[in-house]
Structures are given as structure tokens and as C-alpha cells.
Amino acid sequence: MGNLIYRRTERNFNPLMAKAATITISEVDEIVDVGELAPEGREDPHLVNAGGQFVTLLPYASICDQAEAFAMIRGGHIDISVLGALEVSEEGDLANWFVPERRVGRIGGAMDLVAGAKKVIIIMYHATRDGRANIVKKCSYPLTGKKVVDTIVTDLAFFEITEEGLLLNEIAPGFTVEEIQSLTEPQFKVSQDLKEMEVEPSF
């Protein structure tokens, strides 16, 4: 499909490669793989990310146009979509495109991604800087999609959204279930197999 290239290969994406691997990563900017931000003086106006920043390409990068990217999304070819969020409700409603009090935001591809992907994973901070919960009973911001989120990964916890509500599966080292609940608006159930999140050391 398109010009997607498997990570660290020189071959175009094709069905044989799809069957040979677990996950193929396609990024929102229609570039796989994006390099670092472009240093001053080396900006290319044709290479920008979704935030409008100038980027570079890695040697094995591939580019597909927006039509191909959206054809993959709207055609149901995306298994997993990983997105950020402003708020997620206990029923899996997602708000991630507009902040009314700042009047900041724009409709992008997120609505297509949550509608077209088979599974939606949200990665976000558990609470705002002033301690307000980002996992809420009901979203106060304009919605991106209703009941579309399957999994929430925050800096403090890992939740699965089930038919019975939120299920806490993992917790960050040094935190208690009670502390997580104090930063989470809706009540949640705790998995019988609750474990500590594995945190990669940063250097």
C-alpha cells in the first residue's frame, strides 16, 4: 500500500512483509521515518511535521502523499492508532483537537484515525499541571470521537476501557492505587493481575 517502507529496510511495503512482522509504523506526517528537527540553515519547506516544524529524513525514509495516507485510514487498513489527548472519558470518548479557553486547535486527521482504526491507544499526562484530572466522567472539551478509545497509557497508569468501565492494569513505581484514584475523576476497577509499570531508564 502506498510507498510505506518497513523500518530499517530498503523494500517497499507489501503483503509479504505485512505477514512477516508484528507492527508497521506509519506516521501522521506521511513520512516514515522522520529524522530530527532540521538545524538552522538546513530547513526544507517541503519537509514539515504536523506541528509545522521543519524536519529531516532518515536514509531509509519513505514518503506517501496525503491521499494515500487517508486511503489507508478510511479504508480500514490501520490496526492501531496511537494518539495524544486532552481528555478521555470513562466510556472512551476522546477530546484532543480544541482547547476552548485558549481558542487553540484545528480539525485534522485524528477524527479519521479514531473512526477508521481497529484499536485506539491514548498516550497522555494523567493530570494537568494544576492537578485537574485528564481522565474524566464526561469530556468538557469538543469531542474527536465517541466511545473510540480502547487503552489509556499515562505517566502514572495503564487503563483498559471495558464494558464495565475503566480497568487499572498497571501502575507507575512509587504510586498507590489510592493516589491514582485521587487524580482520576471516575471510579475504576483494579485488575487482579495489577503490576508495576516497567520504566525504561533515561540517559
- Of the three residues 76, 93, 116, the one that is the final residue of a domain is 76
pLDDT at 7 over 50: no
**pLDDT on residue 6:** 38
Would residue 43 count as lying in a domain?
yes
Picking from 174, 137, 144, 141, the residue whose alpha carbon sits closest to that of residue 156 is: 174
Answer yes or no: do 37 and 8 share one domain: yes
Cα–Cα distance between 187 and 136 in angstroms, integer? 9
Cα–Cα distance between 43 and 66 in angstroms, integer? 21
Answer yes or no: do 72 and 94 share one domain: no
Cα–Cα distance between 28 and 34 in angstroms, integer? 10
Instruction: Tell me the pLDDT tens digit for each residue of 41-81.
Output: 988 888 887 677 888 887 777 777 778 777 878 888 888 89
What total number of domains does the chain contain? 2
Instruction: Return mean pLDDT, the chain.
Output: 81
Answer yes or no: do 98 and 151 share one domain: yes
Cα–Cα distance between 84 and 106 in angstroms, integer? 14
Answer yes or no: do 187 and 165 share one domain: yes
Answer yes or no: do 56 and 102 share one domain: no
Picking from 83, 157, 159, the residue whose alpha carbon sits closest to that of residue 122 is: 83
**pLDDT on residue 194:** 97
Answer yes or no: do 48 and 134 share one domain: no
Q: Which domain holds residue 152?
A: 78-197
Judge whether 173 and 158 are in contact, CB under 8 Å. Answer: no
Residue with the bigger pLDDT between 13 and 77: it is 77
Answer left, alpha or beta for residue 174, where phi above 0 means left and psi between -120 and 50 means alpha. Answer: left
Any idea which of 14-23, 89-98, 145-154 has the lowest mean pLDDT?
A: 14-23
Burial 123-141 (b: 16+ CB within 10 A, else e): ebebbeeeeeebbbeebeb
Q: What is the mean pLDDT of residues 180-196?
A: 97
3-state helix, strand, coil in the chain (%, to 5): 15, 35, 50
Answer yes or no: do 4 and 49 share one domain: yes
What is the model's pTM? 0.74
Residue 130 has which C-alpha cell? Answer: 494544576
Would residue 164 count as lying in a domain?
yes
**pLDDT on residue 32:** 56
Binning pLDDT at 50, 70 and 90, where does residue 13 land? Answer: very low
Q: What is the distance, to the nearest Å, from the Cα of residue 154 to the centroid of all Cα atoms in its chain?
A: 11
The CATH number for 104's domain is 3.40.1080.10
**pLDDT on residue 184:** 98
> What is the DSSP-derived secondary structure letter of residue 138?
S
Would residue 203 count as lying in a domain?
no
- Of the three residues 32, 47, 76, the one that is the final residue of a domain is 76
H-assigned helices in 54-176 = 66-74, 110-116
Picking from 196, 151, 155, the residue whose alpha carbon sits closest to that of residue 173 is: 196
Cα–Cα distance between 61 and 35 in angstroms, integer? 9
